[in-house]
Amino acid sequence: MIEREVTIRSDAGIHARPAMMLVKEAMKYPCEVFLIKDRVEANGKSIMSVLALAITKGSRLIVRAVGDEEDLAVSSIVHLIEKEF
Amino acid sequence: MKKKKLLIQDLLGKTGNIDLQMHLVSGDRGLNKEITGSEMNRPGLTLAGFFDFFAYDRIQIFGLGETAFLNQLDPEKKRELYERFFSYSVLCCIFTHNEPPDELLVKYASDHAVPILVTKHSTTKFISLATHIIEEVFAPAVSLHGTLVEVYGIGVLLIGKSGVGKSECALELVERNHRLVADDIVEVRKIDESLLMGSGSEIIRHHLEIRGLGIINVKDLYGIGAVRNRKRIELVVLLEEWDSSKYYDRLGIDEKRYTILDLEVPFLTVPVRPGRNIPIIIETAALNQRLKKMGVYSAQDLDARIQEWIRTQEQCND
């Protein structure tokens, strides 16, 4: 299991389109991906799950991956969040 | 698991199906104080002057007895009592039977930011309703990945890996006049020792994500009759891709259990493969669960009949 924490800096937060980008990135890897906000865990491969987290500007998010290619998954998702949102 | 906060204010507004019929008299500055437990205190002994073990951090219930006692005190004694009573950081005082609190108490409470509330309910009724509301908030909760549907009145939780077809199955069930409770994230609360209540996350309530279609609003598409906000979980069904090396239950004589928050729920594993009509299997599983609740076990009954038949055959042969 690998995890890293990131802070969301985008004003818009993670609404439908950014959530889709996140899920798309997570789907590339065979491992399980979780996004955790305020101890609430969401499935990183499910768009509804990510949307339900209601991630806003300033939210601290833990990206966790468990399984094959977990280190790659975490680093690419964290990179995406840092770059895009 | 996450813990929820409950403020005194939350008891005043909408509290689900239960109306506490309560209004605020004074001490509105204290409304954002947190309620930490469902125990309540009747301060009879305290008012009589015995301040040992005074559970000031609980909700204080003033019933007819307490109010009558306060009314017969002379003003000097009353002042003395309130001085001492409010020197503790009292959580809040609730007067039942719509009995108005006396002016002096209202003044002290307002000075100390202790909310004073009056309810129309009787003491016993109020305590039972409020306990129910508070315990529901503090009930152990967990958030699960799955889809919750109501099928023939039975709450069925579908679990399984992403993409196995939980949402599609839910859509087909809605189409067949069953109801969607929650998709993807199911918040489960253990309300008492035998009841697991499932509900959806408020922000995405009654939406489904269907691959190829995107996000759809089931309530708008199928109407209010196709959804509900919460439902007791009575059956858990794991959908998984057909694995030919695995043995699937063929008899259904032994009941399997799935554990959520230390409570056991009847559990089935249903293998999925193209051409298998999963919604019909779920419907039948729900009906079968209803039969079992009424004490009818199809597999066991059939087994009993076969054993009986074998016995009679043996007797004929003898």
% of chain B exceeding 90 in pLDDT:
61
Q: How far apart are CA B248 and CA B242, in angstroms?
A: 9
pLDDT higher than threshold 50 for residue A47: yes
Q: How far apart are CA B169 and CA B237, in angstroms?
A: 12
Contact A46 B162 (CB under 8 A): yes
Would you state the pLDDT for residue B16?
Answer: 66
Average pLDDT, chain B: 90
H/E stretch holding A41 reads: strand A40-43
pLDDT higher than threshold 60 for residue B106: yes
Amino acid at B14: K
- Give the closest-approach CA distance of A9 to chain B in angstroms: 21
Contact B203 A42 (CB under 8 A): no
A73: tokens are: 């998954």
Among A47, A49, A50, the residue to mutate for chain B (most B Cβ within 10 A): A49
Residue whose pair of structure tokens reads 């999963």 in the numeric block: B278
Q: Residues B247-252: what's their mean pLDDT?
A: 82
- List of chain A residues whose C-beta atoms are within 8 Å of the C-beta of residue B199: none
% of chain A exceeding 90 in pLDDT:
53
Q: Residues B3-17: what's their mean pLDDT?
A: 76
- DSSP E strand stretches across chain B: 22-26, 40-41, 59-62, 92-95, 116-119, 141-145, 147-151, 154-159, 179-182, 185-192, 195-200, 207-210, 214-217, 230-232, 235-241, 256-260, 263-272
Residue whose pair of structure tokens reads 């016993």 in the numeric block: B124
Contact A51 B203 (CB under 8 A): yes
For residue A41, the chain B residue with the least C-alpha distance is: B143
Q: Which fold has domain A2-84?
A: Histidine-containing Protein; Chain: A; (3.30.1340)
| A16 and chain B in contact, CB less than 8 A | yes
Contact B145 A48 (CB under 8 A): no
- CB burial of B7-31 (b: ≥16 within 10 Å; e: otherwise) equals ebebbeeebeeeebebeebbbeebb
Contact A52 B204 (CB under 8 A): yes
Sorting pLDDT into bands at 50, 70 and 90, what band is B66?
very high
- Give the closest-approach CA distance of A84 to chain B in angstroms: 22
Sorting pLDDT into bands at 50, 70 and 90, what band is B1?
very low
- List of chain A residues whose C-beta atoms are within 8 Å of the C-beta of residue B204: 48, 51-52
Amino acid at B277: N
- List of chain B residues whose C-beta atoms are within 8 Å of the C-beta of residue A41: 143
Catalytic amino acids of A? 15
A67: tokens are: 């399984």
Q: Residues B219-237: what's their mean pLDDT?
A: 95
| A1 and chain B in contact, CB less than 8 A | no
Sorting pLDDT into bands at 50, 70 and 90, what band is B135?
confident
pLDDT higher than threshold 50 for residue A18: yes
Contact B143 A40 (CB under 8 A): yes
Q: Residues B106-121: what's their mean pLDDT?
A: 93
ipTM: 0.78
Model confidence, pTM: 0.76
Of B2, B143, B183, the CB nearest to A48: B183
Would you state the pLDDT for residue B38?
Answer: 86
Question: What is the tens place of the pLDDT at every residue in B253-298?
Answer: 888 999 999 999 999 999 998 878 999 999 999 999 999 989 888 8
Backbone phi and psi for residue B197, each to the nearest 5 degrees, phi listed first: -105, 130
Contact A48 B162 (CB under 8 A): no
Amino acid at B224: I
Residue A44 · residue A50 · CB < 8 Å? yes
Question: Which conformational region is residue B140 in: left (phi greater than 0), alpha (psi within -120 to 50 degrees), or beta?
Answer: beta
The CATH label, of 3.20.20.70, 3.40.1390.20, 3.90.850.10, 1.10.3720.10, for the domain at B8-138 is 3.40.1390.20
Would you state the pLDDT for residue B2?
Answer: 45
Interface residues on B facing A, Cβ-Cβ cutoff 8 A: 2, 143, 145, 162, 183-185, 201, 203-204, 207-209, 215
Contact B2 A49 (CB under 8 A): no
Q: Residues A54-74: what's their mean pLDDT?
A: 91
Would you state the pLDDT for residue B253?
Answer: 80
Would you state the pLDDT for residue B64?
Answer: 93
For chain A, the domains span 2-84
Sorting pLDDT into bands at 50, 70 and 90, what band is B54?
very high
Among B144, B159, B161, B201, the residue to mutate for chain A (most A Cβ within 10 A): B201
Q: Residues B231-260: what's their mean pLDDT?
A: 89
Q: Which fold has domain B141-302?
A: Rossmann fold (3.40.50)
